[in-house]
Amino acid sequence: MTETQAALFCTIVPPHVLDRLARSQDPALSAPARRTLEADAVQRTRRQLTTVAAPVAAPGTTAGEDDADRDTGADAEGAPESPQRTVHDCQNGTDLPGVVVRAEGDEPVKDATVNRVYTGLGATFELLLKEYGRSSLDGAGLPLNASVHFGDQYGNAFWDGEQMVFGDGDGEIFLDFSIPVDVIAHELAHGLTQHTANLSYYGQPGALNESVSDVIGSLVKQYTLGQTADEADWLIGAGLLAPRVTGVALRSMKAPGTAYDDDVLGKDPQPATMDDYVRTGRDNGGVHINSGIPNHAFYLVATRLGGKAWERAGQIWFDVLTGGELAVDANFTSFARLTAAAAAARYGEGAEHEAVVKAWAQVGVETA
Catalytic residues: 187, 288
Closest distance of CB 332 from Zn ion, Å:
17
CB of 219 to Zn ion, least distance (A): 15
From 8-16, 33-41, 46-54, 62-70, give the range in contact with Zn ion by CB under 5 A: 8-16
Residue among 327, 314, 322, 343 nearest 72 (CA): 322
CA 68 to CA 57: how far, in whole Å?
10
Total chain residues near Zn ion (CB under 5 A): 2
Could you tell me the CA-to-CA distances from 367 to 37, 210, 294 in Å, in that order? Answer: 39, 21, 13
CB of 287 to Zn ion, least distance (A): 8
Longest dimension (CA), the chain: 58
In the complex with Zn ion, the residue whose CB is nearer, 86 or 213, is: 213
**Interatomic CA distance for residues 9 and 180, integer angstroms:** 20
Minimum distance of Zn ion from residue 323's CB (angstroms): 21
Q: How near is the Cβ of 161 to Zn ion at its closest, in Å?
A: 12
Query: What minimum distance in Å lies between the beta carbon of 191 and Zn ion?
Result: 11
Question: By C-alpha distance, which of 165, 159, 217, 200 is closest to 69?
Answer: 200
| Core vs surface per residue 289-324: b (16+ CB within 10 A) or e | bbbbbbbbbbbbbbbbbeebbbebbbbbbbbbbbbe
User: DSSP string spanning 104-157?
Assistant: TTPPP-S-HHHHHHHHHHHHHHHIIIIIH---TTTSS---EEEEEEETTT---E
Q: Which is nearer to Zn ion, 113 or 194 (CB)?
A: 194
Alpha carbon distances (Å) from 97 to 100, 169, 347: 8, 18, 43
Residue 134-163 contact track with Zn ion, rule CB under 5 A, x = bound: ------------------------------
Residue 88, H or E segment: strand 85-89
Cβ-closest position to Zn ion: 10
Q: How far is CA 257 from CA 66, 166, 191, 219, 240, in A?
A: 35, 25, 26, 20, 17
DSSP letter assigned to residue 27: H
Determine contact, residues 8/47, Cβ cutoff 8 Å. Answer: yes
Q: Which residue, 189 or 336, has its beta carbon nearer to Zn ion?
A: 189
Residue among 24 and 213 whose Cβ is closer to Zn ion: 213
In angstroms, what is the minimal distance from the CB of 230 to Zn ion? 26
213 is a site residue for Zn ion (CB under 5 A): yes
Q: Choose between 10 and 235: whose C-beta lies nearer to Zn ion.
A: 10
Identified binder of Zn ion from the candidate list 10, 33, 188, 336, rule CB under 5 A = 10
Applying CB under 5 A, the span of 22-30, 107-115, 209-217, 256-264 interacting with Zn ion comes to 209-217
Decide whether 213 or 295 has the Cβ nearer to Zn ion.
213
What's the half-sphere exposure (Cβ side, CA atoms, 13 Å) at 253? 32
Minimum CB distance to Zn ion smaller for 10 or for 336:
10
When asked if residue 355 is in the footprint of Zn ion (CB under 5 A), the reply is: no
With beta carbons less than 8 A apart as the criterion, state whether 352 and 346 touch. Answer: yes
Q: Is the dihedral of CA 107, 112, 115, 119 positive or negative?
A: positive
Residues that bind Zn ion (CB under 5 A): 10, 213
